[in-house]
Amino acid sequence: MTTASTPADVARAEKARVTDGAPRTGSSLGYLRHAAGKLGGALVSLFAVLVTSFFLFRIIPGDPVKAMTHGVPTSAEQLATLRRQFGLDLPLWQQFTDYCAKALSGDLGTSFQFRAPVGELIAEKLPATLLLTGVAVVIYSALGLWLGTRSAWRHGGLGDRLNTGLALTLWSVPSFWLGLLLIIVFSVGMGPIPGLFPTGGMESGTGETGLAYVLDVAHHLVLPVVTLVAVGYAQTLLVMRSSLLDEMGGDYLTTARAKGLRDDAVRRRHAVPNALLPTVTMIFINLGHVAAGSILVETVFSWPGLGGLFYQALSVPDLPLVQGLFVVFAGAMILMNLIADLLYPLLDPRVGR
Amino acid sequence: MVMVTKAPPRPAPAAHRALRLLLASGVTAVSLVAAPGTAAAEDDKSAAPKTLTVAVSQSIDSLSPFLAQKLTSTSIHRLAYEYLTNYDAKDARPIPGLATAWTPSPDKLTWTYTIREDSTWSDGKQATAEDAAWTFNKMMTDPNAATANGSFTANFAKVTAPDPRTLVIQLKKPQATMAALDVPIVPKHVWEKVGDFSKFNNDKQFPIVGNGPFVITDYKVDQYIKLKPNKTFWRGAPKFDELVFKYYKDGDAAVAALQKGEVSFVPNLTPAQADALKTQKNIKVNDAPGRRFYALATNPGAKAQDGKTFGNGHKALLDPAVRKALFLAVDRTALVDKVFQGHAVEGEGYIPPRFGSYFWKPADGQKRAYDPAAAEKVLDAAGYRKNAEGKRVGKDGKPLDFRILCHATDPNDKAVGKYLTEWWGKLGIGLKVECLDSVSDPWVKGDYDLAFDGWSVNPDPDYVLSIHTCGTLPATPKDTGATDNFICDKEFDGLYARQAVEYDAAKRADLVKRMQSRLYDTGYMNIMAYPNALEAYRTDQIASITTMPEAAGNLWGQDGYWSWWSAVPTASAAGEKESSSSAGLWLVVGPAAIVLLGVGLWAARRRRSTADDRE
Amino acid sequence: MTSTKPTPASASSLTWERRRSTVARFWKAYRTHRAGLFGLAALALIALLALTAPLLVGADVQSVTQAPGTALESPSAEFPLGTDQFGRSLLGLLIWGARISLIVGLLAAALSVAIGTLVGIIAGHYGGWFSTVVMRITDWFLVMPTLVLAIVLATVMSRSMWTVVLAIGVTSWPTTARLVRAQTIAVESRPYIERATALGGGHRHVMSRHVLPNVMPLVLAQTTLGISTAILTEATLAFLGLGDPTVVSWGGMLQDAREAGAVSSGHWWYLAPPGIAIALVALAFTLCGRAVESVLNPKLGVGR
């Protein structure tokens, strides 16, 4: 998620976004109206994504048929057969209506290069991406929350400075580069360090079952997850830290302290829950990002997920597959944004219901 | 039985997961120095089967022989199905495959193949001429079944199997390539149940019924393809217990896996990788003459068969003098030295030298050797003078600025582009290197001046020659033809037509050489190099393996199945040794690690809870 | 791009005075941020290197035909960082590459912020259904996977530096647009805007004379932070093979290193420096951006 935007940037955009249009009226009717609005917006966005993905990828230069048959003895008749099989001989408007009709019934078409239904291909790769990014997001969110809280509580101190400094430095590192370095050091082995981890892939493919298989996958998971966590946790940390600092300036904390509550109790019961709010929404937004965001790490570690599939599909271009993946990537973002929007007013204690 | 990828594994029990974490943190690194690789997974196997693992990067387009076109797929089909003929590992001459003999009729229009009796499908049924006839007839009658290999049957009039041992193919016109029909023969009794050949991928039911040296037993998209030896294979069963093609989308990851012994073989190395691997123990680098040529192609003015020209190729390139000057300023030896780091042979004729019978090189007077001074003279003489800024200008007063199409995914294109820019810059000619993921679009439209070109040449050169004939030009500018570079030359076409019907091998070879000479003289292409095949394998896993050509040849992408069929495992294969040693190690390290881990976890827990409560 | 640039028409001495004191106050506050100063110093050093690169190493460093060394030499006195596969000095390329990486970063961030500011101000100023539509589009862009969109754009267009600038610029503006819109609405609710309108100031006048100067600090912070993102994205695109192969940039060097197989052959000296350089510049810009931000908006509580 190197490319999402700077951590501080996200934090502020997040504030601008969630405070924009969250219901301030305290009624459940207001919430329903808010929810309906957001839901409608999400549906419109999704439809726009469907349409865009068709035209966006049609402007990619490149003749899929010619690209796929390059270097293979192919006659003009064979080229024509392929074109017909792929539906590329039809006029553009007809391709578009076919696409729309199919997409609405949940059929994303058939991949050119794998000759398999796009939906099936995506379903096959989705678990790998979900596993990788899911584990990474959970770990870096937890890590970010924990370190962010510590940092904010002792802000300005040496610990805080080291903490944020390290996080920012790691955030500035290109994730693919970090991945390559980790491969050199921990996979290939360097000097006294032995090659502890596999160089790529999700499983050894030696036919393990049960526990052995789980361990095998976990073993393959370590380096890619470490890469994603190292590069990603700064966001959570900084958002948590700054929102906690905001909360700590709040009057109610002074009141709480005045009531004689101990510092850590004040923190745990009042400041942290409030500060969690923007962080949690941001984590959801991140979840939306992850599908697309792991393209790099999946490429470096040969992880059999959607990111690698997308990149491969793009170079042909395998139109149905890139379209389908784009819809999935954008759809994930829309869905997670929607969840964040719907959750926000429910979680915000200041928005009484 | 391609299933949806296994569901995300449930979280491992704490102790085991923690073991991994401990490994990760490197706490036990020192004690584990001796146990690289995937240790835990192997400790339950006492007599590990000998597996040959090949690193691949290219995806399978389809496992159906009627659809598959990519090299990985066709290589695997070579292993799983017998073709009528095969190519000798020594010199690539046609030798018996499913057919034991083949003879043309005196009128050259009927070929009779004798089918062998000792080839059985892996489900026990006998492979017969009927299977072959059905395969070809299917391709001739169903365009979808002709998707991959239709070009082989385009000239077939009728295919019959008068008896189980005899296959008769009748041709429309004579065809010299009848001993080089690279078409997998499939079992009729399995395939006649298939409905739509454009949709059937042959990847739902394993093992896949075949009669080649291996049987495909499992496939997971972009993860692996597994094959088991065919014990009843007529030429003798392969020696390894299993052959696995494992996916590494990243070349460095594949090499790292080779160094660790995770894979036995890695193809397509870069020069730097090959040099680094050469010095390593238990690894042999195979640096063999390749079957590819790597060339510079100029746009000869794209045109269609209806006579219409199209595209925006630079007009100055229609002048033979300009092309000659450009090619004279290309230092091919420098490219071999610098770009290929010596792992290539300087280019001369169209067909690489490994195909000895067809190899041709220009005579002394004919050759365009590197000579920048001569290039300057040629341009001066042809009237392309330098202007005030030192740029050559054409007769229309415009400077000579060319574009070259480069494949963004090919490092060689980008590297050679850098050299060309500087060499031609000195001549006063500008060059813009335009790199694209898919160059096919401008290429098909004729919207290019120069382009990097390259083909892998088959033992039978018919196809790579055919793509320079007028007959392969697109019918109209809107169509796509099979043509490589829009070259259309009557003399070349005449020679092509003659070799296509010449059944005498020596005479045909002579015609092929004359075609290359003509192609060289037209000056539309400059063959810069024949890149070597750079590959490496582990000698502690593979004891011996046959290259093709046998003397000095490649292992990956052979025309036959020689490499994997012939590979002999090392007496004590590495996998076996590793697992036993690591199993022993685990007995010692395991308990120690668990204790260490428990302490670690407890400490971390404590710290966290104190952090939560007290700070 | 700073907030101190005088608008030529209204360059009265009074505004000048006011702006100068603003800058002085800004600098005084900025100076107290040690991390920010560190970032600034690092940037100044790198910018100096990039600017003097023609003198330090010369354009010849890119030449493959006149490369001084042999392929992939390890670090030595002659080549402190070793050589690449063509025998060119990696140190020279690293310095030369700073130019492209910085230019692409700056231009892409500027483009992105310019689009964002324009959209934000217009949407914030006009309001109503127009604003709703514009913000719908912005939201829609906001949910687009940025990297995916940038990859697609870079694939569609030919490989050049400008393609990369454009791909980054047009995919990363929505955040700025949202922030600027919010700020615009806040500014326009102030009474003096009402006065200005009453005195006959048109839309253009209000937007350029009153709103723009007030959102400028925000835009400045946004640009600084945006540059580091842009530099990382440039490296990412180059790494995926979508950069311009004919120029030397840090991301391109990483891609070259990978294509040469430097990772598995253990040539860490080829791989490490460009990555460190990217990280250093991105970090420097982030530190500066955070310092600027906390000066302008102390409530954000960025650590000192």
Q: Decide if B61 and A68 are in contact by the 8 Å CB cutoff.
A: yes
Phi, psi of B227 (to 5 degrees): -130, 145
pLDDT at B8: 35
Predicted confidence band of residue B604 (pLDDT cuts 50, 70, 90): low
Nearest-neighbour CA in chain C from B415: distance (Å): 9
The per-residue pLDDT for B47 is 60
Give B2's pLDDT tier (boundaries 50, 70, 90). very low
**Chain A: closest CA distance from residue C263 (Å):** 7
Residue-wise pLDDT tens digits, A160-186: 888 889 999 999 999 889 988 888 888
Residue bearing the bigger pLDDT, B102 or C246: B102
Contact C267 B272 (CB under 8 A): yes
Q: Which residues of C touch A6 (CB under 8 A)?
A: 225-226, 228-229, 286, 289
Of the candidates B296, B350, B352, B349, which has an alpha carbon nearest to the alpha carbon of residue B323? B296
Peptide bond into B549 cis (omega under 30): yes
Judge: B69–A69 Cβ closer than 8 Å, yes or no. yes
pLDDT at residue A71 in the model: 67
Contact: B150, A219; criterion CB under 8 Å: no
Question: B418 and C71: CB-CB below 8 Å?
Answer: no
Which residues of chain B does C256 touch, with a Cβ-Cβ cutoff of 8 Å? 411
Q: What is the pLDDT of residue C151?
A: 83
ipTM comes to 0.84
**Residue B607 near chain A (CB below 8 Å):** no
Nearest 10 degrees: Cα torsion B549, B553, B556, B562: 30
Q: Is the CB of residue C265 less than 8 Å from the CB of residue B273?
A: yes
Of the candidates B253, A178, B249, the one whose C-alpha atom is nearest the C-alpha of residue C263 is B253
The overall average pLDDT reported for chain B is 85
Q: Which two tokens stand for residue A123?
A: 């379903």
Would you call B424 an interface residue with chain C, using a CB distance cutoff of 8 Å? Answer: no
pLDDT per residue as tens digits for the range B185-227: 999 999 999 988 988 999 889 999 999 999 999 998 888 999 9
- Asked if pLDDT for residue B173 goes beyond 70, the answer is yes
- Which residue is closest to B331 within chain C, CA to CA? C65
Distances (CA, A) of A225 to A128, A205, A293, B252, B423: 12, 20, 13, 19, 47
Q: Which of C287, C285, C253, C248 is nearest to C272 (CA)?
A: C253
pLDDT band at B572 (very low <50, low <70, confident <90, very high): low
The three-state secondary structure class of A144 is: helix
Contacts of residue B275 in chain C, CB cutoff 8 Å? 72, 265
pTM (2 d.p.) = 0.83
**Which of chain A's residues have a Cβ under 8 Å away from the Cβ of B154?**
75, 77
In whole angstroms, give the CA distance from residue A7 to residue C142.
Answer: 16
Cα–Cα distance, A67 to A72 (Å, whole number): 10
How many inter-chain contacts (A to C, CB under 8 Å) are there?
179
Task: State the pLDDT at residue A198.
Answer: 81
In this complex, is the C-beta atom of A191 within 8 Å of any C-beta atom belonging to chain C? no
Percent of chain B at pLDDT exceeding 90? 62
Q: Which chains touch A (3 or more CB pairs under 8 A)?
A: B, C
B290-309 per-position pLDDT tens digit: 889 999 999 999 999 998 99
Query: Searching chain A, which residue's CA lies closest to the CA of residue B33?
Result: A194
Q: Which residues of A touch C254 (CB under 8 A)?
A: 174, 176-177
A132: closest chain B residue by CA: B8
SS (H, E, C) chain C: CCCCCCCHHHCCHHHHHHHHHHHHHHHHHHHCCHHHHHHHHHHHHHHHHHHCHHHHCCHHHHCCCCCCCCCCCCCCCCCCCCECCCCCEHHHHHHHHHHHHHHHHHHHHHHHHHHHHHHHHHHHHHCHHHHHHHHHHHHHHHHCCHHHHHHHHHHHCCCCHHHHHHHHHHHCCHHHHHHHHHHHHHHHCCHHHHHHHHCCCCHHHHHHHHHHHHHHHHHHHHHHHHHHHHHHHHHHHHHCCCCCCCCCCHHHHHHHHHHCCCCCCCCHHHHHHHHHHHHHHHHHHHHHHHHHHHHHCHHHCCCC
| Whole-number Å distance between alpha carbons of A211 and B433 | 53
**pLDDT confidence of residue A194:** 73
Query: Which residues are B298's β-sheet partners?
Result: B450
Helical axes A306-314 vs A272-293, angle rounded to 10°:
40
> For residues B59 and B535, what is the distance between their CA atoms, to the nearest angstrom?
19
Identify the band that residue B14 occupies on the pLDDT scale cut at 50, 70 and 90. Answer: very low
Name the helix (H) or strand (E) containing B513: helix B505-522
Chain A: nearest CA to C279, how far in angstroms? 5
Structure token pair of residue B124 = 């026990």
How many of the other CB atoms lie within 10 Å of CB of C10?
12
Which residues between 293 and 322 in chain A have a beta carbon less than 8 angstroms from any beta carbon of chain C?
293, 295-296, 299, 310-311, 314-315, 317, 322
Per-residue pLDDT of chain C (304 residues; tens, 9 = 90+): 444 444 555 556 777 888 788 888 888 888 888 888 999 999 999 999 999 988 888 878 888 888 888 888 888 888 999 898 888 999 999 999 999 899 999 999 999 999 999 999 998 888 788 888 888 888 888 777 778 888 888 877 777 889 889 988 988 888 889 888 888 888 888 887 778 888 877 888 888 888 888 888 888 888 888 898 899 988 988 888 888 888 889 999 998 888 888 877 778 888 899 999 999 999 999 999 888 888 876 654 443 3
Q: What is the 3-state composition of chain A as percent helix, strand, coil, each rounded to the nearest 5?
A: 75, 0, 25
Task: Tell if the CB–CB gap between A134 and B26 is shorter than 8 Å.
Answer: no
CB contact under 8 A, B6 and A213: yes
Comparing A184-193, B95-104, B391-400, which segment has the lowest mean pLDDT?
Answer: A184-193
Taking residues B479-495, report their average pLDDT.
91
Q: Which of A62, A200, A304 sits opposite B253 (nearest CB)?
A: A200
**Cβ neighbours of B437 in C, within 8 Å:** 155, 241
Q: Do the chains contact at B433 and C86, CB–CB below 8 Å?
A: no
Q: How confident is the model at residue B37 (pLDDT cuts 50, 70, 90)?
A: very low
Instruction: Name chain B contacts of A219, Cβ cutoff 8 Å.
Output: 20, 23, 38, 40-41
Report the pLDDT value the prediction gives residue B524, as an integer from 0 to 100. Answer: 94
Check if the beta carbon of residue B368 is closer than 8 Å to that of residue B526. Answer: yes
Element housing B533 (H / E): strand B533-538
- Say what the pLDDT of residue A238 is: 86
Contact B433 C264 (CB under 8 A): no
| Residue contact B433–C261, C-beta within 8 A | no
Query: Which amino acid is it at A211?
Result: L
Give the whole-angstrom CA distance, residue B553 versus residue B290: 7
Q: Which of C87, C159, C265 sits opposite B272 (nearest CB)?
A: C265
Residues of chain B positioned with their CB less than 8 A from the CB of A314: 437
CB distance from A59 to chain C under 8 Å?
yes
Please tell me if residue A156 touches chain C, with a CB cutoff of 8 Å.
yes
For chain A, residues with pLDDT lower than 50 are 1-11, 13-25, 351-353
